[in-house]
Every structure is written in structure tokens, then in C-alpha cells.
Amino acid sequence: MMQLFYFYTMLIIPAIDIIDAKCVRLTKGDYDTKKIYNENPVEVAKEFEANGITHLHLVDLDGAKSGKVVNWNVLEAITQNTNLKVDFSGGIKSKEAAKQAFNCGANQIAVGSLAAKNKKEFVDWIWEFGEEKLILGADVMNEKIAVSGWQENSTQDIFSFLDFYFEEGIDYVLCTDISKDGMLQGPSFELYDKIIKEYEEIKLIASGGVTSIADLAALQQMGCYAAIVGKALYENKLSLKDLQSFLS
């Protein structure tokens, strides 16, 4: 009997992480491991766009750590100088900050800490802004939610967390396995597979550990809506040319 394989379309979303308005990367979310890759994030974003990229994951690491957005100027500069659809995160803790992110050109915002700490507030955001504008940030360590730029652990289980927001109508989930982030050792395939099978209607964005084309192909085959690519690009494990087969 012939076995059929189904190939899903999957967005490739490069990440730009910002500290002091510079493009950096961390390892496992540890701020002490900061490595600066480019002092002009707009240049990086333009290069992505020139190579066929349509979406960008922009993280204000200063904002994630301090609890309030710091690098508004970087968000605005990228959205004004490119046509990239930017999802923005890091320190968005109030409705006013969410509105400002959209006013600065963000296509979507990704919210993790507030969603974990104040469910009632985030549900209100879903009603006000709409599920198309919001991405639920689910950062996990050993299947437990972590918050505040991964500086705090919680006792919340990833699946009970997703259960709650699935019932509230959330569409997009950005899941990062902290143990994989920046390690260049492959994504958390088992976790993503469990999530996709449990919540078939959720658009799952896989983040952390993507190192090769094979990683991306596996995430695509299991049905991920999108995959974040970060350190592998900056460390030349993957090139923008390598991604062309996923961009056509």
C-alpha cells in the first residue's frame, strides 16, 4: 500500500533580538551570554527582505527584562524602512503599550508574561484587538511556563496554559523551548508534535534550536505554521539562500 506524505506550507520568520538598539543573540535566554552581531538592525531587516523574507520576529530584550518596552525606535525604523510584517514582543504589559506597538507599525504582538500572570487582562486584549493581531507567547522549560524574559519560572503546565487560551479563541501560539534556544542542537520536535496533535486548529510557531534545512523540513512536515530562525543565520549554519526552497 502506497504511503502518502502531506507537505504543509510553513512561514520562515527570522528573528532580530535587540539590546541597546543592537542586533544580538543570547544562549538559553541568559543575558550574560549576549553576543552583538550587527549594530544596525534596520540593515539586517533590509537584507532579510531583499532575500524574499516577508515576516520578522522582533524582540526587545531590554523590554523583556525591565518589564516595559525600551526599543520603540527600532520597531518604528524597521516598519518604516521595510515592508516586512513584524511581530513584536518584549515588555508589552499594558493595553497602551500594545496600541503603541501597532501605531509603530507592528503587524502582530507576541505576549507571554502578561498572558501567564494576568489571564483576565489578556483575554480582554483578545476581545479588543482580535485574535489575528495577537500571538500567545508560550516559553517553556521542562514543559513549564517561564516569564519576564525567562528570568522567572512558574508552575504553570504548558498544556493547561494552552487549554485555557484555546477556549478563549487564541489562534497563534509562539512556543520556545528555552533549553533549545541558541544551542544550535535542533528544535523541540517532541513537544511541538504533542501540541499540534492536541490543538489541530492552532497556528503553531516553533522557536528555538533550528540549525539546518532538515530541521525546517521536519517542522514543516509535522504541520508547524511557522518556524523562527535566529542564531543559525547569524552563525552561518544556515544562509538566506538555503531558505529559498521554503520561500517559493
Mark whether 17 is an active-site residue: yes
- For residue 240, the number of C-alpha atoms closer than 13 Å in the C-beta half-sphere is 14
The DSSP symbol for 149 reads T
Q: What residues does each domain of the chain span?
A: 11-247
The DSSP symbol for 163 reads H
In sequence order, the β-bridge partners of residue 36 are 24
Catalytic residue, chosen from 17, 171, 177, 215, is 17
- Residues 41 and 21: their CA atoms lie apart, in Å, by 7
pLDDT of residue 27: 79
What would the pLDDT profile of 114-125 be if each residue is shown by its tens digit? 999 999 999 999
Catalytic residue, chosen from 60, 62, 87, 139, is 139
Mark whether 87 is an active-site residue: no
Q: Position 136: which residue type?
A: L
| Average pLDDT in the chain | 90
Checking if the pLDDT of 167 tops 80, the result is yes
Pick the CATH number of 11-247 from 3.20.20.70, 3.10.20.590, 3.60.20.10, 3.40.50.300: 3.20.20.70
What would the pLDDT profile of 177-216 be if each residue is shown by its tens digit? 887 665 567 899 999 999 999 999 999 999 989 999 999 9
Checking if the pLDDT of 156 tops 60, the result is yes
Reported pTM: 0.92
pLDDT band at 86 (very low <50, low <70, confident <90, very high): very high
